[in-house]
Structure 1
Amino acid sequence: NTPNFIVTCCNDRSVNAMVQSYNVYPPNFAVYLIGRSLLSQGQTINTMYNSATKSISSYFIFFIIIIIFKQTHQF
């Protein structure tokens, strides 16, 4: 149901970015990106897409380390 909702509310470029992030990264990381984009107030779809890509470049390693650490230690 979630991919269908994303397709209905976002343009193709944002959908492609979210689908790629969902396929490449762990699901919880993709959920973080999608949730962060959808929860940003007063922003258009394009700025949401741009902020998501900037977040990947600046926080990618940081969140991957946290996700791997959480998955290996099972908090």
Structure 2
Amino acid sequence: MKPNFQAMTRKELRTYVIAHPDDNEAFYAYVDKAEKEGNWVTMPPLKSPEDLDNYPDFLDKIRRDPGRRSDN
């Protein structure tokens, strides 16, 4: 029996997707949930790491994100 992906948090769903990489239904549910949250920051491709200084909104998002893992 599969879990209810809609009832899971994005973090729970991410953990499930990592543990079950062949479960396409879970993957699509995760992508849909991430897209609905609308917390993406868009920016053009970088030419160098120093270009990040031109996007303070992006850097702030990374610094504030409690779900960010340091080993990614």
TM-score, with normalisation over the residues of structure 1? 0.30
> Based on CA coordinates, which of the two structures has the bigger radius of gyration?
2
Question: Of Structure 1 and Structure 2, which has the larger fraction of its residues in helix?
Answer: 1
Which structure has the higher relative contact order (CA within 8 Å, separation 6+)?
1
TM-score, with normalisation over the residues of structure 2? 0.31
